[in-house]
């Protein structure tokens, strides 16, 4: 029996300096974090917040907390702001706010002495702040409150004067743009704000660019106003989806951990697969798939499940880089698996208009194929290296583990049940959170009545509040990037760059769908070095989506192609955040872990081809879809064996080539003809037969050897 836990699980304790805060500043972080959590629960459940309030509250709290705990330079420890820093910050904020709000008056009169005094005060405060630690953080927090507060307060007036925004409106938008880029820089590094700045430069100097992507250019005021006040900028799709859907699912993941669900999703797979060859690695695949399918965050998945599975993998004999790569690629598979699929599925539903339930219905099988390939790669690696499972003495029976924790599956049932009934995803997540708490409290009640033992995780009110803090903290990195991604997407929309790039892609590919997918994959590889998964998907789909439309690819298939290709941002060096996180747990080389992840996850590039050329997503052709799923399953097995160069024993060079051929034959579309000689389905059958032949040959030679 494990000791009683009354603390929520910490799925990411490395978010800035949040864990270093003490005293008043700890409360200053936790109070708005709890407030955002309660607001998210209310708006997802019984409440109906107006859009500008919903987006404004989410963005304001995210920016303020990010500026508070994400240091201006990495590695800087927390230091309590001095009274001087607070005074300078207050003077600067008040001076700038008063001066900016007087801008409209200057159109009808000359600047007064008050205006000069306000800017002199602001300049003096800024000059002093450069010498006072954390004063700049206080400045930016004040400016964040000013810009977002103005947006919410003036929202209806802003709508009425749309397209004729004032000088004050422009100044507020400029402040918001700077804060959005700075928060993104602190959250995820310089790449996203760098791309955002380049996008604004492109919007301004459009007529200086090559003819294929040139445009007439937009003035500074038009650019800045568009960024804040249009539906494509800071408050565009990314922020909308984050505020409405993703945030509540992040809280669901936090409640899962606090209630012990995460622990059950590790223990149960461990009882099933822990004994087999390389058992802990297979547990990593299963646990990451289950946990990631609900939490929707591959990074939180790596930290939560990897903290347990990576040491176990190393213990039974996996090399550190392999253990890190397995957890990274398995957690990526969890993010591909419905119902949550990270933030991407909500962005997809928002852009395409395809019902959320329809998307997750067709996306399940491809995600399972990917996870199957990872599971088989793990199996072949274990067999190849002679790695056994955990000792039988350390294993519990699956039935025992299931009887002790079956109720942890009920929130998952609640989530899926409400989704199938047609309720909105945020409402379903809200109900799942309520069920998590209700189940825990029922168990406590039964324990008090002596009908059951007290749960190891007791969700008291303090634990619930701490869980809300954990959820908010875990949302800061991706939430902090939302505004800057909106800057990028807004500039693409304003300049029609998406349509221009799509035409360019079609021209470069010569109308070939295969080459178009290859070019999009290459573009995704480059974007993935700079952007996180959801941001990469959103930018890429805006750029490349029309190209697939011109080639006749159904809209859902096109978006899933881009969504899958965008996942490589976690596995492709030099910037592969998932690999870095997994490597830190495995104490492995991040670069080598990234390349090993890339080796294991190559199915990310195969599945999109199935979306493009086969009926795997086509419910109107159930026979074709079923055939493709069946042959692709065999193909995934062959692909894993080819990747590791091992089936029942190490493959010879000829066998390795034949495994690659068998894999390609199984993945071939059933409705095409090969050299006008054999239909695709016949080649599929031949591929299955070839794999079976290689298997029989290896078994025979293994016995004889």
Closest C-alpha among 539, 541, 595 to residue 568: 595
Closest C-alpha among 384, 332, 326 to residue 656: 384
What is d(CA 250, CA 300) in angstroms, rounded to the nearest whole number?
9
Question: Considering the entire predicted model, what is its pTM?
Answer: 0.82
Rg (CA), the chain: 27
Q: Which two tokens stand for residue 318?
A: 């996996």
Torsion over CA: 39, 43, 47, 50 (sign): positive
Q: Are 665 and 690 in contact (CB under 8 A)?
A: yes
What is d(CA 604, CA 547) in angstroms, rounded to the nearest whole number?
20
Q: 């074709």: which residue's tokens? A: 624
| Helix ranges (DSSP H) in 421-531 | 425-448, 461-495, 497-509, 513-528
Sequence-ordered list of residues with C-beta below 8 angstroms from that of 671, at least 6 positions apart, any chain: 614, 615, 624, 679, 680
pLDDT of residue 12: 44
Q: CA torsion 538→342→61→40, rounded to 10°?
A: 120
Burial class of 665 by CB neighbour count within 10 A (0 to 12, 13 to 18, 19+): buried
The parts of the chain modelled with pLDDT lower than 50 are 1-13
pLDDT of residue 454: 80
10 to 2, 30, 112, 304, 437: CA distances (angstroms): 18, 14, 54, 8, 17
Q: Looking at the DSSP assignment, which residues form a beta bridge with residue 646?
A: 650
Q: Which two tokens stand for residue 412?
A: 């998952």
What is d(CA 68, CA 79) in angstroms, rounded to the nearest whole number?
11
What is d(CA 135, CA 123) in angstroms, rounded to the nearest whole number?
13
Closest C-alpha among 475, 489, 580 to residue 74: 580
pLDDT of residue 8: 39
Q: Looking at the DSSP assignment, which residues form a beta bridge with residue 312?
A: none
pLDDT of residue 200: 95
Q: Looking at the DSSP assignment, which residues form a beta bridge with residue 457?
A: 5
What is d(CA 239, CA 234) in angstroms, rounded to the nearest whole number?
7
What is d(CA 33, CA 470) in angstroms, rounded to the nearest whole number?
8
Q: Are 331 and 292 in contact (CB under 8 A)?
A: yes
Tell me, rounded to whole angstroms, the distance of Cα 437 from its chain centroid. 25
Per DSSP, 18 falls in state G
Model pLDDT for residues 40-82, shown as the tens digit of each residue: 999 998 888 888 999 999 999 999 999 999 988 877 778 888 8
What is d(CA 146, CA 166) in angstroms, rounded to the nearest whole number?
16
Q: CA torsion 160→163→168→172, rounded to 10°?
A: 100
CB contact burial 256-283 (16+ within 10 A = b; e otherwise): bbbbbbbbbbbbbbbbbbbbbbbbbbbb
Q: Are 484 and 196 in contact (CB under 8 A)?
A: yes
**Three-state helix/strand/coil letters over 232-289:** CCCCCHHHHHHHHHHHHHHHHHHHHHHHCHHHHHHHHHHHHHCCCCCHHHHHHHHHHH
Model pLDDT for residues 314-339, shown as the tens digit of each residue: 988 899 999 999 998 988 888 888 87
What is d(CA 269, CA 628) in angstroms, rounded to the nearest whole number?
29
Q: Are 475 and 249 in contact (CB under 8 A)?
A: no
What is d(CA 133, CA 137) in angstroms, rounded to the nearest whole number?
9
What is d(CA 428, CA 534) in angstroms, rounded to the nearest whole number?
22
Closest C-alpha among 249, 246, 346, 269 to residue 563: 346
Q: Which two tokens stand for residue 665?
A: 């034959």
Question: How many other β-carbons are positioned within 10 Å of the β-carbon of residue 460?
Answer: 12
Q: Which two tokens stand for residue 234?
A: 């800071």
Sequence-ordered list of residues with C-beta below 8 angstroms from that of 565, at least 6 positions apart, any chain: 520, 521, 524, 540, 604, 605, 608
Q: Establish how many alpha carbons lie within 13 A of residue 202's alpha carbon, considering only the half-sphere containing its beta carbon.
A: 22
| Helix ranges (DSSP H) in 601-679 | 603-613, 622-644, 653-667
């Amino acid at each position: 029996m494990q000791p009683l836990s009354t603390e929520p699980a910490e799925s990411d304790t490395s978010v800035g300096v949040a864990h270093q805060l003490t005293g008043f500043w700890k409360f200053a972080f936790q109070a708005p974090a709890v407030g955002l959590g309660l607001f998210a629960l209310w708006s997802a459940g019984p409440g109906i917040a107006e859009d500008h309030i919903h987006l404004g509250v989410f963005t304001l709290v995210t920016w303020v907390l990010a500026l508070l705990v994400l240091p201006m330079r990495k590695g800087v420890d927390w230091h309590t702001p001095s009274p001087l820093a607070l005074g300078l910050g207050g003077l600067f904020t008040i001076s700038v706010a008063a001066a900016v709000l007087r801008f409209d008056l200057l159109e009808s009169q000359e600047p007064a002495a008050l205006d000069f005094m306000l800017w002199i005060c602001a300049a003096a405060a800024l000059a002093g702040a450069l010498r006072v630690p954390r004063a700049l953080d206080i400045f930016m927090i004040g400016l964040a409150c000013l810009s977002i507060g103005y947006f919410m307060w003036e929202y209806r007036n802003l709508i009425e004067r749309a397209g004729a925004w004032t000088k004050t409106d422009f100044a507020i938008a400029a402040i918001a743009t700077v804060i959005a880029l700075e928060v993104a820089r602190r959250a995820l590094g310089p790449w996203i704000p760098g791309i955002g700045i380049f996008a604004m430069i492109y919007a301004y100097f459009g007529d200086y660019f090559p003819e294929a992507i040139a445009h007439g250019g937009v003035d500074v005021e038009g650019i800045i106003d568009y960024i804040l006040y249009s539906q494509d900028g800071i408050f565009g799709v990314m922020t909308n989806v984050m505020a409405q859907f993703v945030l509540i699912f992040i809280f669901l993941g936090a409640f899962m951990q606090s209630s012990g669900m995460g622990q059950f999703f590790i223990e149960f797979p461990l009882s099933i697969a822990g004994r087999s060859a390389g058992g802990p690695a297979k547990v990593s695949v299963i646990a990451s798939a289950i946990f990631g399918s609900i939490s929707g965050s591959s990074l939180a998945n790596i930290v939560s499940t990897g903290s347990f599975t990576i040491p176990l993998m190393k213990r039974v004999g996996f090399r550190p880089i392999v253990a890190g790569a397995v957890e990274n690629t398995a957690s990526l598979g969890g993010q591909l698996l419905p119902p949550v699929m990270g933030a991407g599925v909500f962005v997809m539903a928002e852009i395409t208009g395809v019902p959320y339930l329809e998307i997750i219905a067709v996306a399940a099988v491809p995600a399972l194929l990917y996870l199957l390939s990872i599971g088989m790669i793990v199996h072949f690696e274990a067999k190849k290296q002679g790695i056994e499972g955990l000792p039988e003495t350390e294993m519990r029976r699956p039935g025992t583990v299931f009887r002790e924790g079956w109720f942890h599956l009920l929130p998952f049932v609640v989530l899926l049940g409400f989704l199938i009934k047609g309720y909105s995803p945020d409402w379903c997540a809200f109900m799942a959170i309520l069920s998590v708490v209700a189940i825990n409290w029922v168990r406590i009640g039964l324990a008090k009545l002596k009908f059951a033992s007290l749960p190891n995780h007791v969700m008291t009110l303090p634990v619930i509040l701490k869980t809300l803090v954990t959820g908010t903290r875990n949302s800061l990195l991706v939430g902090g990037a939302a505004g800057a991604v909106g800057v990028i997407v807004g500039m693409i929309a304003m300049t029609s760059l998406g349509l221009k790039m799509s035409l360019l892609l079609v021209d470069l590919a010569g109308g070939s769908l295969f080459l178009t997918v290859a070019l999009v994959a290459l573009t995704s590889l480059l974007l993935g070095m700079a952007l996180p998964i959801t941001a990469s998907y959103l930018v890429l789909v805006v750029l490349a989506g029309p190209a697939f439309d011109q080639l006749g690819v159904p809209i859902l298939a096109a978006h899933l192609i881009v969504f899958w290709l965008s996942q490589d941002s976690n596995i492709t060096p030099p910037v592969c955040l998932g690999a870095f996180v997994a490597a830190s747990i495995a104490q492995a080389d991040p670069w080598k872990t990234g390349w090993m992840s890339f080796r294991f996850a190559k199915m990310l590039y195969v599945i999109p081809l199935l979306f493009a050329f086969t009926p795997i997503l086509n419910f109107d052709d159930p026979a074709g879809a079923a055939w493709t799923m069946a042959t692709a399953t065999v193909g995934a097995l062959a692909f894993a064996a080819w990747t590791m160069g091992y089936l029942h024993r190490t493959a010879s060079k000829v066998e390795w080539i034949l495994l690659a051929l068998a894999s390609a034959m199984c993945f071939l579309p059933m409705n095409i003809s090969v050299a006008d000689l054999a239909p695709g389905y016949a080649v599929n059958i031949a591929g299955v037969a070839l794999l079976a032949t290689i298997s029989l040959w290896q078994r025979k030679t293994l016995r004889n050897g």
